[in-house]
Chains A and B, each alone.
Chain A
């Protein structure tokens, strides 16, 4: 599926929730379920510092695609991180670099991508795109 199709699928999935609690419970569940990153990659250089919660991000390049793993110390952020990975991981550097991320806004979690929260998710998205650009330019070892 393309990045756009993956986002639309998430938006459709979230449309079933009738109140905020169901939606958050789902995100929290996502945050709890996934082993998002190997412990060895939860180190300082992979840490994206937000003001409130931390996010670790690790890229791997294989067969022309980038595969991300990540983690956060806050569970709601972690749930959103897992959605972000679902959408962006396994695509080519160009697809990631060019992607327009709109699903966070559409599912009503817009504040997580705003500067005011400074919770790491926005920084994470920027970092994913930076990796994509770097792999594209060949400045990171593939």
Chain B
């Protein structure tokens, strides 16, 4: 397996790729940074930084409303970014791509707009036991408002969804299923095709939180036949503050607007406002133009490397890391699904994850500790949190070795 890794690393030329990411050269406490917190946010390639720089230096202007040349240039670039994202996820139409602030806002949009129209007393929304707070709380809020209930698909102690429980809970009162494609805490890749198929057999739409999937594997919304997906730009090498909601045209047309304001209207009088067409109906106010353009550049960059290559390289990195970590005495993995991607959560003996994380930090190794915005998951495992190392294709075998060495030191100091 380790030999394999080297083959792919060579094919991808990781050293060359690392040069595309200026921040990876940073030192902390005088030590070379080992950045293993990619599930929280990814670093940005020069191509993205240049796109942002170029936007502000040469054509910054408000979109969709200007008569002048710069405004037209900005509008074209903004709409081109939408087309890039649409091609990236293989949406049927680019107007099925709505720019938002991130995954959280995308899910809030659907929860609010879908809930307003389609959720009634006694109905329910079905989520899973491993959701991020951003795919729990918006549903709780709308369920409370509508006197509906939130149902949860159970998982087992390996962090695998119980599909028999899903089938049992997929009853007629369920109006929408909202699950994560990849768990940000456990790394579990969920059987989303099966979930979508079963839900659709009962005419129930499905929203996938793909915040931890889109950067790791090819994703085709038409092939998945998914109704909504939500993700954040900053987790796929793009800027912060920009995100995407994809929705099938028929669904987006059925949903009422989320927020009111400029851009989302056709005509406004004090008596009646006529809403704009897709995608503008859901983009009230001046959008994050630079963010969208930066995301477009990020998508181009990812495409230039190739998502299949990324999936292969990261898969090998993950396998290498799992092997290497398993050799640390007293280390136990939290989340042991054979189908996994992105993140590895673990604990060493009874060491508090916060202590472990701090000793790693002092060695220049950036991981995340805590509940990772999935409190129900850490409650389920009855632990104070986890140490989470999460990977991107620019990570190396040497960095994983550094993590292992760092953990050995933490174990000695804290144990």
- Where the two chains meet, the residues of A that have a C-beta atom closer than 8 Å to any C-beta of B are 20-21, 24-25, 28, 51-54, 73-77, 119
Q: Which 9 A-B pairs have the closest CB atoms?
A: A74-B352, A52-B354, A74-B354, A53-B354, A52-B370, A76-B355, A20-B362, A74-B355, A75-B355
Inter-chain CB contacts under 8 Å: number: 39
- The A-contacting residues of B in range 351-369, CB under 8 angstroms, are 351-355, 358-359, 362, 369
Residue of A nearest to B357 (CB): A52
- Where the two chains meet, the residues of B that have a C-beta atom closer than 8 Å to any C-beta of A are 29, 351-355, 358-359, 362, 369-370, 384-385, 413-414
Contact (Cβ within 8 A) A77 B354: yes
Instruction: Report the separation of the CA atoms of residues A24 and B351 in the bound assembly, to the nearest whole angstrom.
Output: 15
Contact (Cβ within 8 A) A76 B362: no
Using known A-B contacts A21-B413, A28-B413, A74-B352, determine if residue A52 contacts B359 with beta carbons closer than 8 Å: no
Contact (Cβ within 8 A) B370 A24: no
Q: Which residues of A contact B362 (CB under 8 A)?
A: 20-21, 24
In the assembled complex, the CB of A17 is this many whole angstroms from the nearest CB of chain B, namely: 13
Contact (Cβ within 8 A) B413 A24: yes
Q: Which residues of A contact B385 (CB under 8 A)?
A: 52
Contact (Cβ within 8 A) B29 A76: no
Using known A-B contacts A24-B413, A119-B354, determine if residue A53 contacts B384 with beta carbons closer than 8 Å: yes
In the assembled complex, the CB of B147 is this many whole angstroms from the nearest CB of chain A, namely: 31
Instruction: Report the separation of the CA atoms of residues A21 and B410 in the bound assembly, to the nearest whole angstrom.
Output: 10
Q: Which residues of A contact B355 (CB under 8 A)?
A: 28, 74-77
Residue of B nearest to A75 (CB): B355
Residue of A nearest to B363 (CB): A20
Instruction: Report the separation of the CA atoms of residues A92 and B385 in the bound assembly, to the nearest whole angstrom.
Output: 37
Residue of A nearest to B361 (CB): A111
Q: Which residues of B contact A28 (CB under 8 A)?
A: 355, 413-414
Residue of B nearest to A51 (CB): B370
A-B contact pairs, 21 of them (CB 8 A): A20-B29, A20-B362, A21-B362, A21-B413, A24-B358, A24-B362, A24-B413, A25-B413, A28-B355, A51-B370, A52-B369, A52-B370, A52-B384, A52-B385, A53-B354, A74-B352, A74-B354, A75-B351, A76-B354, A76-B355, A76-B358
Instruction: Report the separation of the CA atoms of residues A25 and B29 in the bound assembly, to the nearest whole angstrom.
Output: 17
Instruction: Report the separation of the CA atoms of residues A25 and B384 in the bound assembly, to the nearest whole angstrom.
Output: 23
Contact (Cβ within 8 A) B354 A24: no
Of A28, A51, A74, which is in contact with the most chain B CB atoms at under 10 Å from its CB?
Answer: A74
Instruction: Report the separation of the CA atoms of residues A54 and B371 in the bound assembly, to the nearest whole angstrom.
Output: 13
Q: Which residues of A contact B352 (CB under 8 A)?
A: 53, 73-75
Q: Which residues of A contact B354 (CB under 8 A)?
A: 52-53, 74, 76-77, 119
Instruction: Report the separation of the CA atoms of residues A66 and B288 in the bound assembly, to the nearest whole angstrom.
Output: 54
Q: Which residues of A contact B384 (CB under 8 A)?
A: 52-54, 73-74
Instruction: Report the separation of the CA atoms of residues A24 and B29 in the bound assembly, to the nearest whole angstrom.
Output: 14
Instruction: Report the separation of the CA atoms of residues A114 and B385 in the bound assembly, to the nearest whole angstrom.
Output: 20
Q: Which residues of B contact A75 (CB under 8 A)?
A: 351-352, 355, 414
Residue of B nearest to A20 (CB): B362
Q: Which residues of B contact A73 (CB under 8 A)?
A: 352, 384
Of A28, A51, A52, which is in contact with the most chain B CB atoms at under 10 Å from its CB?
Answer: A52
Instruction: Report the separation of the CA atoms of residues A18 and B385 in the bound assembly, to the nearest whole angstrom.
Output: 32
Q: Which residues of A contact B369 (CB under 8 A)?
A: 52
In the assembled complex, the CB of A76 is this many whole angstroms from the nearest CB of chain B, namely: 5
In the assembled complex, the CB of A114 is this many whole angstroms from the nearest CB of chain B, namely: 13
In the assembled complex, the CB of A26 is this many whole angstroms from the nearest CB of chain B, namely: 11
Instruction: Report the separation of the CA atoms of residues A20 and B358 in the bound assembly, to the nearest whole angstrom.
Output: 11
Q: Which residues of A contact B29 (CB under 8 A)?
A: 20
In the assembled complex, the CB of A69 is this many whole angstroms from the nearest CB of chain B, namely: 20
Instruction: Report the separation of the CA atoms of residues A75 and B369 in the bound assembly, to the nearest whole angstrom.
Output: 15
Instruction: Report the separation of the CA atoms of residues A86 and B84 in the bound assembly, to the nearest whole angstrom.
Output: 60
Residue of A nearest to B29 (CB): A20
Q: Which residues of A contact B413 (CB under 8 A)?
A: 21, 24-25, 28
Instruction: Report the separation of the CA atoms of residues A75 and B414 in the bound assembly, to the nearest whole angstrom.
Output: 8
Q: Besides A28-B414, A74-B384, A75-B355, 17 other CB < 8 A contacts?
A: A20-B362, A24-B413, A25-B413, A52-B353, A52-B369, A52-B370, A52-B385, A53-B354, A53-B384, A73-B352, A74-B352, A74-B354, A74-B355, A75-B352, A76-B354, A76-B355, A76-B358
